[in-house]
Amino acid sequence: MALTKSKIDRAGVALAKDSFRDVEELMELEEAFDEYRKSHLEPLSKTTLELQAWLNEYGHDYYIAQRLKRKPQIVRKLNRLSVRLTQLQDIGGCRIIVEKNELIDQLVQFFRDKIGKASELKLNRVTDYREKGRDITGYRSVHLLLERDGRKLELQLRSRIQHYWAESIERTSVIYGHHLKEGDGDPVVISYFQRLSDAFFEIESGRTPAARARIEIDVAKQQAEKVIREGALAPAFDSHVNEDIILTLTEKEKRSASPINNWIIVFDWNTGQFVSWDIVGRTPDEAIAAYVHYENQFPVEKNFEVVLIGSSRVATVRRTHSHYFGIEDYEKILESLDESIQGLESIGAIDVSGRQILLKLYTKHFWGQKTVAMETLRNHFCKGVKNLDSAMDKLVERGLVLRDSTKGPVSLNIKARDEIDRLVS
């Protein structure tokens, strides 16, 4: 199909405004939309691979994944911003998560230098939302607007705390049934997330939120939770994540030689369960065909979420899209500030090597009496982990890992399951 700018924009109008002559034209314009979205996948994958190659020189822990924007998100954005489809800059997006906020400044300069020497990739703009937040919700991140092969791409850089907030508001949005990050929903709920974001910014700046602010956030949390419980459109209560999915997908990943796999995730927010999660075709044609098929089969109107994510490791998706995980107990929909800080401090107390060890033991289900020898970890599962012995000693000392003797086999401590779940999620 020949894609002209006018046809692409007409496709956007047809989908966002229901403006079309007849069914035939609608079908033609829907096909144009799918083709246009697909055209972002190859330049996006090239960019992600290039970023990963550069990050080998970066020297700090990071997670990276890419995604093509979902059709419902695109339609809402066209209506919310009153823009044309060809004006959207984030149909193809890549996300990088680093440990601390100050590392983002280093990373921005790092990418400026690298992109300045690149022949195919162009940096058009850097937008920093960290100081005041992007809007009334408190969203914080740095966005790099890139361009490759005539397609605009967005690179998001977040610290772990900024990502924690973003995933929390995503998770709450689907339970509540409103797109909170887009300003949709009761002002009481939106205000809570804005206050929480401000408190996290204080923490990242090395300051402790004042006692008064903590009290105000806890009160806001109680008020927001009441609003959500009374108005929730999709109460995914008493649900759980099937850990066997991760094991199955890890095995599939091992059989795939591709540097980046395209994963289709179908999540049912009515039950909090994965409907489907599988590797789809590596070519843009195959991947987008699967994407469109699943979007039609599992419509957003029935509370399904279909997303196409690209990643070199399936375990990375658990980091970059963590709001799909840990859906186990909705007695408390929102965490208090103290609980959030405690969870963040708990994660921060484990270094990079320790988290890598925990993740490997976790995904391989080495719990309790199911143990693994240190040599197997060293030579097979944890080859790239630095300071393996000292990191393991710290995990044992903290009670997260069980070990009978200094060189004996190890396993995760079942009694520390809740803490381990938080650390690897």
Predicted local distance difference test score (pLDDT) of residue 24: 92
Q: Which two tokens stand for residue 243?
A: 């850990």
Residue 74 has pLDDT above 70, yes or no: yes
Average of per-residue pLDDT across 400-406: 88
88-146: per-residue pLDDT in tens? 999 999 999 998 899 999 999 999 999 999 999 999 999 999 998 988 999 999 999 99
Residues in the chain, overall count: 425
Is residue 121 situated within a structural domain? no
360 and 317 housed in the same domain: no
371 and 314 housed in the same domain: no
Cβ partners under 8 Å of residue 284, min gap 6: 38, 39, 41, 42
250 and 315 housed in the same domain: yes
Predicted local distance difference test score (pLDDT) of residue 242: 53
Is residue 418 situated within a structural domain? yes
Task: Give the separation between CA 34 and CA 38, rounded to whole angstroms.
Answer: 6
Residue 346 has pLDDT above 70, yes or no: no
Predicted local distance difference test score (pLDDT) of residue 330: 41
Task: Give the separation between CA 151 and CA 8, rounded to whole angstroms.
Answer: 13
Give the predicted TM-score (pTM) of the model: 0.75
Identify the domain boundary among 278, 308, 324. Answer: 324
The distance from CA 227 to its chain's CA centroid, rounded to whole angstroms, is 26
Q: Which two tokens stand for residue 370?
A: 């199911």
Is residue 164 situated within a structural domain? no
Residue 389 has pLDDT above 90, yes or no: no
Nearest C-alpha neighbor of 111 from the set 58, 164, 161, 36: 58
316 and 254 housed in the same domain: yes
Residue 180's Cβ-side half-sphere holds a number of Cα atoms within 13 Å equal to 29
Highest mean pLDDT among 1-10, 147-156, 381-390, 398-407: 147-156
Helices (H), 118-210: 160-176, 187-204
Who wins on pLDDT, 147 or 265? 147
Is residue 365 situated within a structural domain? yes
355 and 313 housed in the same domain: no
Task: Give the separation between CA 219 and CA 223, rounded to whole angstroms.
Answer: 6
Q: Is 250 in contact with 363 (CB distance < 8 Å)?
A: yes
Q: Which of 3-12, 39-48, 206-215, 290-299 has the lowest mean pLDDT?
A: 206-215
290 and 361 housed in the same domain: no
Q: Is 332 in contact with 225 (CB distance < 8 Å)?
A: yes
> Would you call 184 helix, strand, or coil by DSSP?
coil
Predicted local distance difference test score (pLDDT) of residue 42: 93
319 and 367 housed in the same domain: no
What letter does residue 372 receive in the DSSP assignment? B
Positive/negative CA dihedral, 134, 84, 310, 298: positive
Domain that holds residue 387: 349-424
Phi-psi region of 155 (alpha: psi -120 to 50; beta: other; left: phi over 0): beta
Residue 151 has pLDDT above 70, yes or no: yes
Could you give the number of structural domains in the chain?
2
What letter does residue 88 receive in the DSSP assignment? -
315 and 362 housed in the same domain: no
Task: Give the separation between CA 379 and CA 385, rounded to whole angstroms.
Answer: 10
Task: Give the separation between CA 102 and CA 108, rounded to whole angstroms.
Answer: 10
Helices (H), 255-336: 284-297, 314-320
For position 388, which CATH number holds?
Answer: 1.10.10.10
pLDDT level of residue 5 (50, 70, 90 thresholds) = very high
354 and 320 housed in the same domain: no
pLDDT level of residue 413 (50, 70, 90 thresholds) = very high
364 and 320 housed in the same domain: no
Is residue 387 situated within a structural domain? yes
The average confidence (pLDDT) of the chain is 84
Identify the domain boundary among 324, 357, 391. Answer: 324
Phi-psi region of 306 (alpha: psi -120 to 50; beta: other; left: phi over 0): beta
What letter does residue 39 receive in the DSSP assignment? T
